[in-house]
């Protein structure tokens, strides 16, 4: 059974709908690749998925340990290369305003992030630079 249903809207724009929830995502080609850059590009979604997946797995560990991750935020930088055009590197920089005092828990969170399904699924040629500022 399908998970996502998508359509081409024209002018390098797509719409995808998550079938279980009905939520929709629009993508646009980036300005530097003939697009309008009016929404996430498909490669932006890949980069964003890495950060979100890492946080989801950290959240599972944090909940199990009784720790609230609400002070966690992150920035993602996607670096492209050409010939062929593809993602060369994804940089994820995590910051936690109120990190756990327990250093073992901090390490568990970092380890969990690095083993998220997206991190493990990306082509090994895509460099993953992960900074934990906590």
Given this model, what pLDDT does residue 43 score? 97
Q: Could you tell me which residues are beta bridge partners of residue 14?
A: 8, 27
Class of domain 42-133: alpha beta
DSSP 52-92: HHHHHHHHHHHHHTT---TTEEEEEEEEEETTTTEEEEEEE
| Residues contacting residue 40 through CB under 8 Å, at least 6 positions apart | 25, 26, 27, 28, 48
Question: What is the chain's pLDDT, residue by residue, as a tens digit (134 residues)?
Answer: 999 999 999 999 999 999 999 999 999 999 999 999 999 999 999 999 999 999 999 999 999 999 999 999 999 999 999 999 999 999 999 999 999 999 999 999 999 999 999 999 999 999 999 999 99
Q: In which residue ranges of the chain is CATH 3.30.300.20 found?
A: 42-133
Given this model, what pLDDT does residue 11 score? 96
């Amino acid at each position: 059974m399908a998970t996502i249903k998508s359509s081409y809207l024209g002018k390098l724009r797509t719409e995808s709908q998550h079938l279980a929830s009905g939520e929709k995502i629009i993508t646009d080609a980036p300005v530097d690749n003939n697009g309008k850059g009016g929404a996430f590009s498909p490669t932006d979604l890949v980069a964003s998925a890495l950060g979100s997946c890492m946080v989801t797995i950290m959240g599972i560990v944090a909940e199990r340990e009784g720790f609230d991750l609400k002070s966690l935020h992150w920035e993602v930088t996607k670096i492209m290369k050409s010939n062929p055009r593809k993602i060369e590197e994804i940089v994820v920089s995590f910051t936690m305003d109120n990190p756990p005092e327990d250093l073992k828990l901090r390490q568990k969170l970092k380890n969990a992030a690095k083993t998220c399904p997206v991190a493990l699924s990306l082509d090994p040629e895509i460099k993953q630079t992960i900074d934990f500022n906590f």
